[in-house]
Structure 1
Amino acid sequence: METQGWDGNRLLSDRRLLVQKSRIDRRIEELNHECKTNQVLIDQLESLKQKMTEVDPHLYSVRVYRSTSAIKLLKQQITNTYRLIREYRHAQKMIDIEVETSWVADQLPDEGNFTRAIVSKLEELKAIEEQNQSLKLQLAAYKEIGNRE
């Protein structure tokens, strides 16, 4: 009877990990889309900067400066997002290993370290997500300042 409880706990734990993996899959799709969207915006800003510089660099100097700053933020955001994607994929692999070895992992010494490592990785990813959010806010502030002028 005790084995059934142990198996049930393991199955519940595996299910939680698989749900987490599914969330990570969706988040990776969102992040890939975000990168593509940001790259399109960078390309548009670069094109506008070139046009402004060709027409009258002095007249458009403030806008060129703001565009350059926005591009820098967008590129930093893309860099962070690619890091997130890479780390999320790493976490997915960790989850795969944990699920595949769950039947054996309970018998290994330090079996709790597997789950702690995954939780630690996910906390690290959350911090990167927060950093990206900060960059989004900075970019929004640049847009707001531009709209006031």
Structure 2
Amino acid sequence: MISLGKETIHRYQALIEWTDTLRELDDNIWVTPIAEGKATVAGIISHLKNWDNYLIHTIIPAIKNGDGMVFPDFDSFNQTAYEYARSGISKNSILDEFKQTRLQLIELLLTEPDVATKHVPANGVENCPHTGIPYSLLYIIHEFIEHDNHHKNQILSVI
């Protein structure tokens, strides 16, 4: 499980290298919605950073306290990230914050494997309803890799 865990964590880290290439992205593309009614590239990166931050500051402490993982309402949580991206913060600042936050989370996962692999409920549910696999932070990270790839593909479709 630990080797699989490290593989998952390294896959999660791989997005950093790709997001670094966005520093060269035209500023107009950076702030244009990827589709009608959708987020901008800036908003997507801010959104990814906010979820990593949530794992660091809310989920990991909850697991350490013996509590389950509780996730907020996605729409309002994501809206906060999109608003931050529209606040006037620079492209490089958002990309730097994303990278720093993702590296901080990776470090925590690698140095505290017991926290990453401990079986804990997510919003009161013990096992993923789709796979039957018991929830853990590592399982959530595995799901977040798919989430990252979804957003990466959205961004690639507009650049």
User: Which bracket does the TM-score occupy, shorter chain normalised?
Assistant: 0.3 to 0.5
User: What TM-score do the two structures reach when normalised by structure 2?
Assistant: 0.36
TM-score by length of 1: 0.38
